[in-house]
Structure 1
Amino acid sequence: MNITIRQIQSFLNVAALGSFTRAAEKMHTMQPALSQQVRDLEAELGIRLFDRTTRRVELTEGGAEFRNIAAKIIEDLESAARNAHELAERKRGRVIIAAPPLLAAAIVPRAIADFRSRYPGIEVRLIDARTDQIIENVRSGQVDCGLGTFHAGEEGISATLLARDSLMVFCTSNHPLAQRQAVNWRELDGLPLITLTRDSGIRLLVEVGFETAQIRLVPAYEVGQITTALAMVEAGLGIAVLPTYAWAGAKAMKISATALTPGIARDIAMITRTGRSIAPAVSAFARFLAKYTNVSVPGGATTAGRLPSARKPARVSTRGEMNARK
């Protein structure tokens, strides 16, 4: 069967107006051409659609039945085209993003609020999850994108760099390391250290820092969440080495955060599934994620100490430089 949209539109206009002449005028075409469209449609369907007289054009029984179906087809097609256009223009759509708990709290809500003010027709859903769950959810298509720090070369995953993040030392505001411009890793030797557990990529980077500085890492406490580590720092139980974005969870605390040298930097990225085209809504949302990832750590002095900008992690010479991804 070879029925065209133009044939159906010609038929529906004749049926609605009761005239080939008026239908041709509405469609800005010549009457013979429109009549041919209807005849070709009748030939494809194998039925007569109109009874033609010198005065009127009336639908046959078969034509009346086909009109109801054809009108629905055109309505659905126009709706699909309108939806596609709105998606392309980012007027509607849906974004499902997964992020680890702290990034989900520190970055994504502000990005969503700003994004929704610009694109109110696009729904954004946030899922907070572990990094391994984020990767699996992106790979399986359960979420559109993921935010976090990831190993390079994850199978089935494409990454878009949003910002660079460096490790910092967090301590109480009255600690000897507070209010410093920078702290050398060797100055951490012998201090009570609160670390994340060994299944954390952050813990691995901390171990690299201690090993490079040739000092022993003997944790005073090991915890599973950054927020727990920050609470223990505020209680005066020790210091912690955490990523700059951890500051978002410490703003209301009496805590100082200072850059470490040599610097250990890593990428904060948005990941999507390889081989799957990125929807216009996701592409638009990525720009807002990048914006708020870059401003997640304020520059200049704070009530709890001085923090360098997250956009400019501490850098050292090639010999001492240590860049890593989770």
Structure 2
Amino acid sequence: MQDRQIIGLIATFVAVAELGSFKRAAEVIGRSPSAVTTQINQLEELLGVRLLVRTTRNVRLSSAGEQFLGRGRRLLNETERLIRDFRGQGDKLAGKVELSVSPTIAVSLVPKVLHLLSDEHPDVKITLYEGLRDDVLNSVERGAVDFGIGPYADVPQSLSFERIFEQLFHLILPEKHPIARRGFATPADLHGLDLLCASTGATARAVLEEIARDAGLTVIPRYETLQYPTLYALVAGGLGATVMPVVDPNFLAASRLVAVPFQGRKVSRTIGIISRRGEPITAVSQLFIRAIQETALRYRDHFQLSV
């Protein structure tokens, strides 16, 4: 059996598995139900395992089918991207990049990267999905995006994490606060502050809790929220202080806030590229990755990054 025939069998299996019905899959891919059944039988015979369990009422995946579905999806997605990126392009670099990125990177570095690429490579199309840890890792793992960017180094076995820079954390305070006038902070300063925190499970919260532990403190937040703009707004409203990266220096200045560094220690988290282990990165994806590395280096002082 030729490779392209095998790809067709896999595509039919993925359609049946996702739709849960031979009939609905046949309607979607434009074949008869009997042809779909024949293709599934051929795939199972080729593999020597049962992928689908059929009953009179429904179709469900076997344990082997569940494993095959994930890898089959990734194969089809990568095949589609490969053809899309190179069809008719000749020597001109073009194509599409789809990526999932953490919020603080999405609003700081990514706009500058997009501006750079739109000028130098107008034929490269970029689709951006913003998400927290589970969203980013799941979308990369199932092949919904080409890669991810974020502070999520503890990836599952199927993924890899490659560092690109460190995102430094500061104590965010109103500009007239005594600690702000002093010009530096210590972990002990957290004891006397109303803390505004990222929600439990967020990497920013883990950074804050590590600082507090070093000072023998327990974090008892006054308010918790997921997004950094809300934390900044609460600080600007006089409700306390937070420990976060310098995501938007202009927003800080406009809100009369300052980012105070911690004295004698580097408080940071590692930002990296999250990709599927063993799967090559496409040329257009490599272009984006190089662009974000160059942008981080160029704007390291502006966003307080350690490259």
Task: Give me the TM-score of the superposition, normalised by structure 2.
Answer: 0.66
1:295/1:131 Cα in 2 relative to 1: closer, same or farther (>3 Å)? farther
After superposition, where does 1:1-326 map in structure 2 within 5 Å? 83=86, 86=89, 89=91, 91-245=93-247, 247=249, 249-261=251-263, 262-295=265-298, 298-299=301-302, 309-311=304-306
Q: Distance in 1 between matches of 2:217 and 2:172?
A: 18
TM-score by length of 1: 0.62
Unaligned 5+ segments in structure 1 are 1-79, 300-306, 313-326
- With over 3 angstroms needed to count, the CA separation of the structure-2 counterparts of 1:251 and 1:106, relative to structure 1, is farther
- Structure 1 residues 178, 161: CA separation in 2 closer, same or farther (over 3 Å shift)? same
Measured in 2, the distance between the counterparts of 1:291 and 1:251 equals: 25
Distance 1:247 1:199, change over 3 A: farther
User: How far 1:230 sits from its partner (Å)?
Assistant: 0.4
The answer as to whether partners of 1:245 and 1:297 remain within 8 angstroms in 2 is no
- Displacement of 1:181 in angstroms is 4.0
Report the alpha carbon displacement of residue 263 of structure 1 after superposing the two structures with TM: 2.4
Asked if the contact 1:169–1:239 (Cα under 8 Å) also holds between the matched residues in 2, the reply is yes
Structure 1 residue aligned with 2:28 = none
CA contact (8 A) 2:153 2:270 kept: no
Distance 1:251 1:289, change over 3 A: farther
Alignment match, 2:27 = none
Distance 1:290 1:154 in 2: 24
Deviations 1:229-265 (A, max 9, x none): 1000011110101123364653532110011143222
Encode CA deviations 1:286-311: one digit per residue, 9 max, x unaligned. Answer: 01112333455645xxxxxxx8x422
1:18 corresponding residue in structure 2:
none
Higher helix share: 2
Contact 1:106 1:249 in 2 (8 A): no
Of 217-226 and 163-172, more deviation after overlay is shown by 217-226
Q: Secondary structure at the match of 2:294?
A: helix
In 2, are the aligned partners of 1:245 and 1:296 still within 8 Å (CA)?
A: no
* Mapped contact 1:179–1:258 kept (Cα < 8 A): no
Give secondary structure in 2 for the equivalent of 1:198. coil
Tell me the distance in 1 between the aligned counterparts of 2:233 and 2:116.
Answer: 30
User: What CA deviation, in whole Å up to 9, does each residue of 1:24-66 have, x standing for no partner?
Assistant: xxxxxxxxxxxxxxxxxxxxxxxxxxxxxxxxxxxxxxxxxxx
**Matched AA of 1:103:** I
Distance 2:257 2:92 in 1: 41
CA contact (8 A) 1:193 1:219 kept: yes
- Partner letter of residue 290 of structure 2? R
| Higher-Rg member (1/2) | 1
Once the two structures are TM-superposed, the CA of residue 114 in structure 1 deviates from its matched residue by 0.4
Alignment check: 8 A CA contact 1:226 1:246 kept: no
Structure 1 293/173 Cα, relative in aligned 2: closer, same or farther at 3 Å?
Answer: same
d(CA) in 1 for partners of 2:285, 2:154: 22
| DSSP 3-state at the match of 1:133 | helix
- Tell me by how many angstroms 1:158 deviates: 1.9
C-alpha contact 1:107 1:293 (8 A) present in aligned 2: yes
Counterpart AA for 1:310: L
Q: Which residue of the partner structure matches residue 50 of structure 1?
A: none
- Seq. identity, %: 22
C-alpha distance in 1, partners of 2:189/2:157?
A: 39
Q: What displacement does 1:176 show? A: 1.0
1:132 to partner: Cα distance: 0.9
1: distance between equivalents of 2:272 and 2:251? 20
